[in-house]
């Protein structure tokens, strides 16, 4: 028990500190690296909760794909983050105000939190149904049965995201010169070259 | 899972197959197939509507209770499909004129349509969110569709950022509700909340956050900031789509949510909806006066109209809900007609949007001017046009329940709003004529305008057909 508590405070502490560093670090690459640390720690918290599948997904998807993508974007785009931050100071007071209001609300809500009288009976998939199953197994049991509609809709959403990304970014650039092998092969010397005999001192 | 039955989902399944099939056609044929795909999409919506009429509208929920089909859902989906057909028909020529003929346009509209239909039928917080996001994601892309225009990109980004924020609030609210009740199913939530003696803090907070997220989607004040900018910046065909359809879906979602799972909390949400309704009417009426861009004017007009429609929800009765359904139907048809006119405001191949550009329209293009005048009269609620009946029923529902102040304010603000609708008529009929508009009005746009005018004028002949259908559709929300 004590080890669990220790692990929790360790993960939670590093999580909070590193997420603070994400927004305060001067160098954007450092920010992204701290973000990765944050993801790792939240994965640790999920494992402590017994949700090992979500924890692993967190590492694979967020660290493996999202954060690396961020890193690429930060390194490849020529954005001066210092310039972006310049005007940000004037929003600090209102930001702090809204933050304070939200914090008060959260304290109010969670300080007096209570559950519905027999909340256990309402749960969609009571834990005993999958007593001996691992996370992945129990997810597999419900994902394609009880939640098939949500699963298919998520697929449609990703599909729209893909179509949207292509619509907004793919453009034909007539000004860019590309190599066309067929065209190169078709060209004949007599089409493009003109031979002139020039006697010295006359010009064309 | 016992209730595995795909029959009620057939229209949505059909539309998604059509959407993917048309995408394949588009990819192989390229952008020159845009027109064909647009018309195929419109035909797809029409067939989906026929399928919808065939699946039966008796109340039943399927797929683990996630998807519900009842008379209300059927009726609202029918409205959405009709609105989608109208907006596709309006946009075909516009795409050609503005040089944004790209085959993804109708395909994104199809997917937005599926999202809206899921929203109407959602019987579970998860299905609700999925439908909402499917719809919103397609609309973000559509708003930024005109990539060469800075305004369009700005509209897309603005809509996306604020939409993401509102989704965040919605999700936070949902998490609080789920945390309290332990379920995401509307039926279970409704039952659990109904058995409570006192409403705990957390539930109220959850409700407030969810309503804030949804108020953004229907652009009710104070969550309306995005509307004028997005309406102005987005390509006009997309603005027409925004004004005609998504609000019907968002309203249907809001009504199901408030009248089914959260009926027990009506004391709590009543104050919020009351405030949203009041503020939307006032801001919609007064802010529109200063506008000189017709698209911004219509944005504020839509904010005001959402305020009037919310009055019916405040009334909280089946007849109030029926009035909302009728109001949305009439608003949808009128807006489609108005945008048919706005899309025809072009000089020498360039679109113009100033209200002053309409001046003297009665001399240069009398038919268009009279059509617009009829629509403006209807929008401002002057009898015997259809707009009058929508307002009448909504105010009547509020008065029956004793909300005199709200009804009075509604009437006062609609008098203020009448000023800017009538100003458009004044500019068209009494100002000096300027250069005339381009004469090529495509057949589809004429057809939409004609149907809209016929509806607005013909409504008075047999209003009972529409009123009874709306009332019985809304009544199905209250029986379950």
Q: B interface mutation test: which of A146, A160, A162, A172 has the most B CBs within 10 A? A: A160
**How far apart, in whole angstroms, are the C-alpha atoms of residue A167 and residue B238?**
15
Alpha-carbon gap: B229 to the closest alpha carbon of chain A (Å): 20
Distance from CA of A1 to the nearest CA of B (A): 25
Q: Cβ–Cβ of A122/B137 closer than 8 Å?
A: no
Query: Considering the domain boundaries, does residue B325 fall inside one?
Result: yes
pLDDT value of position A118: 78
Query: In this complex, do A124 and B102 lie within 8 Å of one another by their Cβ atoms?
Result: no
SS in 3 state form for B32-70?
HHHHHHHHHHHHHHHHHHHHHHHCCCCCEEECCCCEEEC
Q: What is the DSSP letter of B234?
A: S
SS3 content of chain A, % helix, strand, coil (to 5): 75, 0, 25
The Cα angle at residue B177 between residues B171 and B181, in degrees rounded to 5: 145
Are B155 and B161 within 8 A, CB to CB? no
Phi-psi region of A88 (alpha: psi -120 to 50; beta: other; left: phi over 0): alpha
pLDDT score recorded for residue A201: 78
Q: What span, in angstroms and rounded, lies between the C-alpha atoms of B197 and B10?
A: 41
pLDDT band at A204 (very low <50, low <70, confident <90, very high): low
pLDDT over 60 at A127, yes or no: no
Q: Is residue B57 part of a domain?
A: yes
Say if A26 falls within a structural domain: yes
Which of A124, A145, A163 is facing B104, going by the closest CB pair?
A: A163
B137–A171 CB contact, under 8 Å: no
Same domain assignment for residues A72 and A140: no
State ipTM: 0.92
Q: Quote the CA–CA distance of A63 and A157 in Å, as a whole number.
A: 22
pLDDT at residue A144, rounded to an integer: 86
- Is residue B64 less than 8 Å (CB to CB) from chain A? yes
pLDDT band at B375 (very low <50, low <70, confident <90, very high): very high
What is the reported pLDDT for B2? 62
Sign, CA torsion B86/B88/B91/B93: negative
Residues B269-294 have a mean pLDDT of: 93
Kindly identify which residue of chain A lies nearest to residue B181, measuring between CA atoms.
A116
Q: For chain A, what is the mean pLDDT?
A: 86
- Per-residue pLDDT band for B13 (boundaries 50, 70, 90) equals very high
- How many angstroms away from the CA of B63 is the closest CA of chain A? 7
The answer as to whether B1 is a domain residue is no
Which of A116, A121, A141, A173 is best to mutate for the B interface (most B CBs within 10 A)?
A: A116
DSSP E strand boundaries for B328-418: 346-347, 350-351
Count Cα atoms within 13 angstroms, Cβ side, for B434: 13
The total number of structural domains that make up chain B: 1
CATH number of the structural domain spanning residue A50: 1.20.120.1200
Residue with tokens 């009740």: B181
| Cβ separation B111–A149 shorter than 8 A | no
Which positions ≥6 away from B359 have C-beta within 8 Å?
A: B427, B428, B431, B432, B433, B434
Residue A131 has pLDDT above 80, yes or no: no
Q: Is residue A85 part of a domain?
A: no
| Tokens (6 digits) for B116 | 């809206």
> Of B116, B91, B127, B126, whose CA–CA distance to B106 is shortest?
B91
Cα distances from B136 to residues A20, A35, B104, B139, B417, in angstroms, run 31, 28, 16, 5, 29
**A160 vs B138: CB contact, 8 Å cut-off?**
yes
B104-121 helix and B71-97 helix, angle to the nearest 10 degrees: 160
Name residues 269-328 of chain B within 8 A of A (Cβ).
none
Q: Kindly state the average pLDDT of the residues A174-202.
A: 82
**What are A99's two structure tokens?**
């933050």
With b for 16 or more beta-carbon neighbours within 10 A and e for fewer, the B77-89 pattern comes to bbbbbbbbbbbbb
Range of the domain at A154: 136-167
pLDDT computed for residue A39 by the predictor: 94
DSSP label at B462? Answer: S
Average pLDDT over residues A198-203: 78
CB atoms B201 and A108 under 8 Å: yes
| HEC-encoded secondary structure of B151-220 | HHHHHHHHHHHHHHHHHHHHHHHHHHHHHHHCCCEHHHHHHHHHCCCCCCHHHHHHHHHHHHHHHHHCCC
A:B CB pairs within 8 Å: 108
- What pLDDT does A126 receive? 56
Q: Are A150 and B126 in contact (CB under 8 A)?
A: yes
A70 shares its domain with A3: yes
Domain boundary residue, one of A80, A115, A149: A80
- Report B:107-126 residues touching A (Cβ under 8 A): 107-108, 111, 114, 118, 126
A2 located within any domain = yes
Question: A6 vs chain B: nearest CA distance in angstroms?
Answer: 26
Q: What is the mean pLDDT of residues B232-236?
A: 94
Shortest CA gap B62–chain A (Å): 10
8 Å CB contact between B471 and B319: yes
Q: Which residue of A has its CA nearest to B104?
A: A167
- Which long-range contacts link A68-71 to residues 24+ away (Cβ below 8 Å)? A70/A32, A70/A35, A71/A29, A71/A32
pLDDT band at A108; cut points 50, 70, 90: confident
Is A128's pLDDT higher than 60?
Answer: no
Residues 6+ apart with CB under 8 A from A190: none
Same domain assignment for residues A71 and A6:
yes
Per the structure, how many domains does chain A have?
2
In a domain, A69, yes or no: yes
pLDDT digits over B88-128, tens only? 999 999 999 988 889 999 999 999 999 999 999 999 999 99
Residue B381 falls inside a structural domain: yes
Interface residues of chain A, partner chain B, Cβ below 8 Å: 105, 108-110, 112-117, 119-124, 145-150, 153-154, 156-157, 159-161, 163-164, 166-168, 171
The whole-angstrom distance between A169's CA and the closest CA on chain B is 9
Q: Is residue A101 part of a domain?
A: no
Whether B111 and A159 lie within 8 Å, measured CB to CB: yes
Nearest-neighbour CA in chain A from B354: distance (Å): 28
Query: Per-residue confidence at B137, pLDDT binned at 50, 70, 90?
Result: very high
Per-residue model confidence (pLDDT) at position B112: 97
Residue B402: inside a domain: yes
Q: Which of B114, B134, B113, B131 is nearest to B122 (CA)?
A: B131
Interchain pair B66, A149: CB under 8 A:
yes
pTM: 0.91
Taking CB atoms and an 8 Å limit, are B184 and A147 in contact across chains? no
Same domain, A3 and A74: yes
pLDDT digits over A56-67, tens only?
999 999 988 888
**A27 domain residue, yes or no:** yes
For residue A148, is it within any domain? yes
How much of chain B exceeds pLDDT 70, in percent? 99
For the record, the structure tokens of B405 come out as 């102040």
Smallest Cα distance from B391 to chain A, Å: 37
Q: Answer whether B19's CB lies under 8 Å from B114's CB.
A: yes
- Give the range of the structural domain holding residue B414, as residue numbers without chain letter: 7-479
Residue of chain B whose Cα is closest to the Cα of A115: B180
Tell me if B205 and A124 make a contact (CB, 8 A cut-off): no
The answer to whether position B78 is within a domain reads: yes
Instruction: Show which of residues 201-230 on chain B sit within 8 Å of chain A, judged by CB atoms.
Output: 201-202, 205
For chain B, what is the mean pLDDT?
92
- Put simply, whether B138 touches A (Cβ < 8 Å) is yes
Handedness of CA B272, B277, B280, B286 (dihedral sign): negative
Q: Is residue A1 part of a domain?
A: yes
What mean pLDDT is predicted for residues B282-301? 93
Phi and psi at B400, nearest 5°, equal -60, -35
Q: Which residues of B touch A120 (CB under 8 A)?
A: 182
Question: What's the pLDDT score for residue B320?
Answer: 93
Based on the domain organization, do A70 and A141 belong to the same domain?
Answer: no
B143: contact with A, CB 8 A cutoff: no
Interchain CB contact of B23 with A (< 8 Å): yes
């Amino acid at each position: 028990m004590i080890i669990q508590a220790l692990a929790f405070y360790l993960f939670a502490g590093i999580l909070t500190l590193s997420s603070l560093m994400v927004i305060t670090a001067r160098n954007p690459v450092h920010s992204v690296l701290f973000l990765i640390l944050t993801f790792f720690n939240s994965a640790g918290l999920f494992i402590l909760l017994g949700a090992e599948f979500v924890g692993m997904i967190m590492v694979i998807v967020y660290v493996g794909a999202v954060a690396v993508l961020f890193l690429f974007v930060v390194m490849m785009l020529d954005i001066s983050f210092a310039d972006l931050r310049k005007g940000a100071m004037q929003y600090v007071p209102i930001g702090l105000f809204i933050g304070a209001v939200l914090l008060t609300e959260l304290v109010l809500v969670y300080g007096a939190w209570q559950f519905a009288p027999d909340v256990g009976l309402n749960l969609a998939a009571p834990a005993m149904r999958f007593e001996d199953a691992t996370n992945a197994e129990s997810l597999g049991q419900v994902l394609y049965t009880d939640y098939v509609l949500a699963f298919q809709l998520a697929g449609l959403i990703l599909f729209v995201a893909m179509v949207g990304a292509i619509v907004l970014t793919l453009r034909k650039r007539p000004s860019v010169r590309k190599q066309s092998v067929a065209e190169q092969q078709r060209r004949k010397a007599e089409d493009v070259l003109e031979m002139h005999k020039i006697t010295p001192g006359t010009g064309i | 899972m016992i209730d595995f039955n795909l029959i009620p989902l057939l229209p949505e399944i059909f539309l998604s197959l059509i959407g993917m099939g048309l995408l394949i056609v588009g990819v192989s044929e390229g952008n020159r197939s845009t027109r064909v795909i647009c018309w195929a999409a419109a035909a797809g919506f029409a067939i989906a509507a026929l399928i919808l009429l065939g699946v039966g509208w008796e109340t039943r929920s399927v797929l683990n209770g996630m998807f519900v089909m009842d008379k209300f859902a059927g009726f609202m989906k029918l409205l959405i499909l009709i609105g989608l057909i109208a907006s596709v028909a309006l946009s075909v020529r516009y795409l050609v004129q503005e040089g944004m003929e790209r085959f993804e346009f109708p395909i994104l509209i199809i997917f937005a349509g599926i999202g809206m239909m899921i929203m109407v039928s959602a019987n579970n917080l998860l299905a609700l969110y999925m439908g909402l996001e499917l719809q919103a994601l397609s609309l973000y892309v559509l708003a930024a569709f005109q990539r060469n225009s800075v305004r369009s990109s700005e509209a897309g980004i603005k809509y996306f950022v604020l939409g993401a924020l509102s989704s965040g609030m919605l999700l936070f609210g949902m998490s609080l509700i789920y945390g309290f009740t332990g379920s995401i199913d509307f039926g279970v939530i409704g039952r659990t909340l109904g058995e409570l003696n006192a409403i705990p803090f957390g539930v109220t907070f959850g409700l407030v956050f969810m309503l804030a997220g949804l108020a953004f989607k229907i652009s009710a004040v104070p969550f309306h900031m995005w509307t004028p900018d997005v309406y102005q910046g987005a390509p006009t065909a997309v603005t027409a789509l925004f004004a005609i359809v998504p609000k019907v879906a968002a309203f249907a979602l809001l009504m199901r949510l408030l009248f089914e799972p959260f009926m027990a909390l009506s004391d709590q949400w009543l104050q919020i909806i009351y405030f949203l309704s009041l503020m939307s009417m006032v801001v919609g009426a007064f802010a529109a006066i200063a506008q000189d861009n017709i698209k911004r004017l219509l944005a504020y007009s839509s904010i005001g109209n959402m305020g009037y429609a919310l009055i019916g929800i405040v009334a909280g009765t089946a007849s109030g809900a029926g009035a909302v359904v009728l109001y949305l139907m009439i608003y949808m048809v009128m807006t489609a007609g108005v945008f048919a006119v706005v899309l025809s405001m072009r000089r020498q191949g360039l679109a113009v949007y100033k209200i002053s550009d309409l001046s003297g329209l009665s001399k240069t293009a009398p038919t268009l001017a009279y059509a617009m005048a009829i629509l403006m009269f209807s929008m401002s609620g002057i009898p015997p046009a259809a707009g009058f009946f929508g307002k009448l029923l909504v105010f009547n529902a509020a008065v029956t329940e004793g909300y005199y102040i709200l009804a009075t304010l509604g009437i006062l603000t609609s008098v203020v709003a009448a000023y800017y609708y009538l100003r458009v008529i004044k500019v068209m009929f009494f100002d000096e004529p300027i250069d005339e508009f381009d004469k090529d009005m495509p057949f589809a746009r004429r057809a939409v305008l004609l149907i809209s005018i016929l509806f607005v004028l013909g409504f008075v002949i047999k209003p009972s057909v529409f009123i009874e259908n709306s009332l019985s559709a809304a009544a199905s929300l209250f029986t379950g």
